[in-house]
């Protein structure tokens, strides 16, 4: 079956067909099997002990990658690793890191880059949507710290491994909810707003998509491509915990975690996405990043987002480039 662009776009814009398992089942009929470029290569996946991260780790291991699973709970992570290894026969390793804690991110980056010289793909999947306003160990609003600032720092600190592993990819797992929010660059932590879990989460997911585009711009010509994606409505433990009402209503339409993670693994292992950078994907096709003019940000706001990420994380791409040119490693916080 050859799915026309018009039908695909119609499913996407009407939301329910495109985001649900219906869209996945229809679209996958037009996909042709492609050899993976990941055989024997290293891939790092955050939030890999459940949900989309676990499913992505299994798909990547099944494609022959050496998968590095970043988790907060080592015991749970080891149990998941053993189960995936038994099913796929793949090689996996577990690393502990709380992505919201910048000190923990720094420790992971130092250990990882010392042991893994070449990285084929970095998958930012770990996420948080706390029920009330909380702050990270460094005092950053927790949703932003987990979904944006921690991943930004991790990317910067392991750029050396991504550079050594070119062609390599940075993949950010966003959410279709980001369509509802524009970037608030002047108040990135939304300190001036009453806390609303879903709104704060959607705003952080908007930030992820913009940052993916900015990474693509800054790394152009380096052999490192950057992409963001959204998995559609997938039935994961995170959805069950944070949006139980939504899950009850939509359960017959929800995708499995494996269906939601398909595009993550495809972005990491297929040749096609390696020929582009800075795109936003769902079900193996690029998607628009805005649906209304009201969510569009200015170039000045995009630059302000990058600068604020540098300030909050303590990592600067300028300092990193200088260090790399001088033969150095990472820029410490």
User: What is the pLDDT confidence band of residue 321, given thresholds at 50, 70 and 90?
Assistant: low
d(CA 36, CA 269): 5
Averaged pLDDT for residues 189-205: 97
How far separated are the first and last CA of the chain, in Å rounded? 52
Rounded to a whole number of angstroms, the CA Rg of the chain reads: 19
User: What is the pLDDT confidence band of residue 33, given thresholds at 50, 70 and 90?
Assistant: confident
175 is written with which tokens? 């959410």
For the chain, list the domains and their CATH numbers.
35-325 (3.40.50.720)
SS (H, E, C) 31-86: CCCCCCCCCCCEEEEECCCCHHHHHHHHHHHHCCCEEEEEECCHHHHHHHHHHHHH
**What are φ and ψ of residue 123, in 5° steps?**
-110, 115
Residue 96 three-state SS: strand
Annotated active-site positions, please?
201
Of the given ranges (6-15, 119-128, 152-161, 287-296), which has the lowest mean pLDDT?
A: 6-15
Give the relative orientation of helices 51-62 and 257-269 as an angle to the nearest 10 degrees.
50
- Could you say which DSSP state residue 119 is in? -
**Model pLDDT for residues 252-288, shown as the tens digit of each residue:** 889 999 999 999 999 999 999 999 999 999 999 999 9
Average pLDDT, the chain: 92
Task: Give the bridge partners for 92, in sequence order.
Answer: 67
Q: Given the DSSP bridges, would you call strands 121-124 and 168-173 parallel, antiparallel or unpaired?
A: parallel
pLDDT > 80? residue 92? yes
136 is written with which tokens? 């990270």
User: What is the pLDDT confidence band of residue 15, given thresholds at 50, 70 and 90?
Assistant: confident
d(CA 55, CA 38): 16
**Model pLDDT for residues 200-226, shown as the tens digit of each residue:** 999 999 999 999 999 999 999 999 999
Averaged pLDDT for residues 104-127: 97
Give Cα 179 to chain centroid, integer Å.
16
d(CA 252, CA 246): 11
* Residues with Cβ within 8 Å of residue 34, at least 6 apart in sequence: 270, 271, 272
Please, are residues 306 and 297 in contact by the beta-carbon 8 Å criterion? no
């Amino acid at each position: 079956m050859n799915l026309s662009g018009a039908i695909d776009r119609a499913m996407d814009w009407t939301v329910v067909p495109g985001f649900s398992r219906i869209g996945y089942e229809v679209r996958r009929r037009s996909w042709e099997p492609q050899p993976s470029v990941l055989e024997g290569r290293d891939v790092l996946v955050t939030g890999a002990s459940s949900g989309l991260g676990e499913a992505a780790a299994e798909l990547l291991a099944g494609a022959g990658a050496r998968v590095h699973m970043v988790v907060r709970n080592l015991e749970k992570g080891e149990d998941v690793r053993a189960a995936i290894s038994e099913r796929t026969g793949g090689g996996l390793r577990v690393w502990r890191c709380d992505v919201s804690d910048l000190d923990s991110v720094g420790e992971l980056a130092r250990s990882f880059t010392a042991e893994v010289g070449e990285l084929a793909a970095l998958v930012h999947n770990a996420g948080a949507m706390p029920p009330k306003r909380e702050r990270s160990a460094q005092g950053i609003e927790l949703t932003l710290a987990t979904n944006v600032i921690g991943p930004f720092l991790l990317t910067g600190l392991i750029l050396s491994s991504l550079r050594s592993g070119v062609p390599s990819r940075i993949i950010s797992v966003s959410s279709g909810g980001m369509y509802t929010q524009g970037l608030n660059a002047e108040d990135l932590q939304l300190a001036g707003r009453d806390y609303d879990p879903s709104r704060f989460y959607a705003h952080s997911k908007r930030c992820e998509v913009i940052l993916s585009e900015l990474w693509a711009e800054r790394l152009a010509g380096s052999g490192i491509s950057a992409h963001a994606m959204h998995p559609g409505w997938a039935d994961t433990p995170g959805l069950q915990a944070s949006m139980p009402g939504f899950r009850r209503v939509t359960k017959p339409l929800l995708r499995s975690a494996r269906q939601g993670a398909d595009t993550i693994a495809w972005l990491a292992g297929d040749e096609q996405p390696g020929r582009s950078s800075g795109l936003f994907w769902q079900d193996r096709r690029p998607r628009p990043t805005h649906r209304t003019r009201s969510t569009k940000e200015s170039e000045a706001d995009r630059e302000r987002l990058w600068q604020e990420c540098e300030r909050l994380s303590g990592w600067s791409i300028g300092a990193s480039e200088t260090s790399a040119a001088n033969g150095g490693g990472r820029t410490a916080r």
